[in-house]
Amino acid sequence: MNNDDIDIAQLTVAAPRATAAAAERPPRRVQGYFVRGPVPWAWIAAAARLPGRALHIGMSLWFRVGRSNDMTVSLSLNAVAAELGFDRSTASRALAALSRAGLVSVEHGPGRNCAVTVHMVNDAANDKT
């Protein structure tokens, strides 16, 4: 084959193909807010078994724990209820359920936000790996 047999106008350059693994990879940077982990699965499973919106409030607490790097956070029930789309009384019942289950401890002050401490759980029954 010599150079006279090649038609330059019909040559194309193939773009590099993305591999299937690269296409399924999560993004390197998350836009917006996110829950910083690790959040223990045993804690999530225990909160999920509680009635009402306990898991919603629990994940909101883990979000605040991740932002503050402290296991004790200040929680405005009005603000979190409005953020998640339910009543303050629903948030209060959910926080009480988390407290009864031993997942958090709550300190109430008159006219103040709640001081909530998130406790780690050690539940071997949920570790099925």
Which of these, 84, 116, 113, 87, lies nearest to 103 by C-alpha position?
Answer: 116
Rounded to the nearest angstrom, the gap between the alpha carbon of residue 71 and the centroid of all alpha carbons in its chain is 15
pLDDT score recorded for residue 54: 97
pLDDT score recorded for residue 129: 47
124 near 45, Cβ under 8 Å?
no
Which regions of the chain are under pLDDT 50? 126-127, 129
Residue range 41-126, CATH number:
1.10.10.10
Q: Which two tokens stand for residue 102?
A: 């031993």
Residues listed for the chain: 129
Instruction: Provide the residue ranges of all domains of the chain, joining segments of one domain with +.
Output: 41-126
pLDDT score recorded for residue 4: 66
The pTM (predicted TM-score) of the whole model is: 0.73
